[in-house]
Structure 1
Amino acid sequence: MSFAFLLTTLAVVVTPGAGVVHTLAAGLAHGRRASVVAAFGCTLGVVPHLAASVTGLAALLHTSSVAYDVLKYLGVAYLLHLAWATWRDKGALTVDEGGAPRSAGRVIGAAVLLNLLNPKLTLFFVAFLPQFVPAGQSGAALRMLQLGGVFMLLTFLVFVAYGVAAAALRERVLGRPRVLGGMRRLFAVCLVGLSARLAVA
């Protein structure tokens, strides 16, 4: 396994994005278990991009500006929807004082959709992974699957670390409504910023 691959992959995974925001919010809202479930969902959301890369579908997105733009603006719209729902305190990223936690299925579904509508992941697999698969080498698809598996493992571990850290702060913020309100709005603003960055990418 190339050190350059591991280093670059770790840099990509650690950089905060919509998945990190989702995992942090899950940890703050519902604790450690919810953050791990959210991290799993975000990791699961990588699978379609990896499959597209291996089968060549990602190349279509890379060469077709229309297909890329459609996926990109669907992602922008979904991020804005989450931002509005979070601001209004009734969405997937609500940071609240308790109540019944959302089901694991809903948390995973929201996380998968976040990454599914992220064209940057597909382009990452198109532009980055092939550099570590020698052209014309037999078993190239298997090699890409292995590298994709490493990417997913690092994604899960890093996101769990983010989520568990957020869960550790949960007890300190749950008794402070003003802090909760400020954090909820901060998550909403972060989502708007991420949507803007995606829109102009």
Structure 2
Amino acid sequence: MTTLVLVATPGTGVVYTLDAGLRHGRRTAVLAAGACTLGIVPHLVCSITGLAALLRTSSLAYALLTWAGIAYLLHLAVLTWSDPGDRLVRAADPRRDATTPSTASTTAPTTARVLRDGVVLNLLNPKLTLFFVAFLPQFVPPGPGSARRMALLAAVFTAVTLVVFCAYGLAATALRPVLVRRPRLAGRANRVFAATYVLIAGALVLEQLPG
């Protein structure tokens, strides 16, 4: 139940999956959910091998990870903000722009790009490092078999993440027809997502400030 609450709480991965579903449809939403889930795997491996605890004790390494995540969030914010919204309409109905027949194919992000952005977002998410270092080990008693139990619990966390993120993304696609009919509203939605990325980055910046 705690895992479900943690995963369902809106964060970087949830925002990215909602954005993907709202702007690009079901396929991209599921891809984004899978990519964010894949981004958990390195944290899982580091936790089982003890590297995550080592990273947490190194203030420099943890700070570098956090600032890299902040930079990538701001990068996504710029890309999302610069999308005017009318591309969503042309992607859904290319006949509305006969002068650019290839718009639909160029508007939708490639599979590689969706996977890259989702994986990198969660790979550079310091909150996941804290989860696998401070929270998950509480449920793993020391002794023989601890690594196997850690792997099992991490696998449950990963599965729940995939299901919840897919649910978020598919739910967002229900609103997509509204944005297709109203491109100005689509542009405003893009700016809301961009602002959300900036807010998350800002929260991470505040955590890095002394005192």
| 1:30 is the counterpart of 2:24 | yes
What is the total number of aligned residue pairs between the two structures? 191
| 1:46 is the counterpart of 2:40 | yes
| 1:96 is the counterpart of 2:103 | no
| 1:153 is the counterpart of 2:159 | yes
CA distance in structure 1 between the aligned counterparts of 2:160 and 2:37, rounded to whole angstroms: 9
| 1:124 is the counterpart of 2:118 | no
> In the TM superposition, what is the alpha-carbon distance from 1:96 to its structure 2 partner?
2.6
CA distance in structure 2 between the aligned counterparts of 1:190 and 1:17, rounded to whole angstroms: 9
CA distance in structure 1 between the aligned counterparts of 2:160 and 2:80, rounded to whole angstroms: 27
Corresponding residue SS for 2:67 = helix
CA distance in structure 2 between the aligned counterparts of 1:8 and 1:65, rounded to whole angstroms: 28
After TM superposition, the runs of 4+ consecutive aligned structure 1 residues lying more than 2 A away are 94-97
> In the TM superposition, what is the alpha-carbon distance from 1:95 to its structure 2 partner?
7.5
* Per-residue Cα deviation, 1:104-151 (whole angstroms, up to 9, x for no partner): 222111100000011110110000111111122x11111111111110
List runs of 5+ in structure 2 lacking aligned partners: 92-103
| 1:8 is the counterpart of 2:15 | no
Counterpart of 1:59?
53
CA distance in structure 1 between the aligned counterparts of 2:87 and 2:77, rounded to whole angstroms: 12
CA distance in structure 1 between the aligned counterparts of 2:133 and 2:190, rounded to whole angstroms: 35
TM-score (norm 1): 0.91
The alignment yields a C-alpha RMSD, in angstroms, of 1.5
CA distance in structure 2 between the aligned counterparts of 1:163 and 1:85, rounded to whole angstroms: 19
* Per-residue Cα deviation, 1:57-92 (whole angstroms, up to 9, x for no partner): 1111211111100000000111011111111118xx
What letter corresponds to residue 81 of structure 1 in structure 2?
A: H
Identity of counterpart residues, as a percentage?
Answer: 56
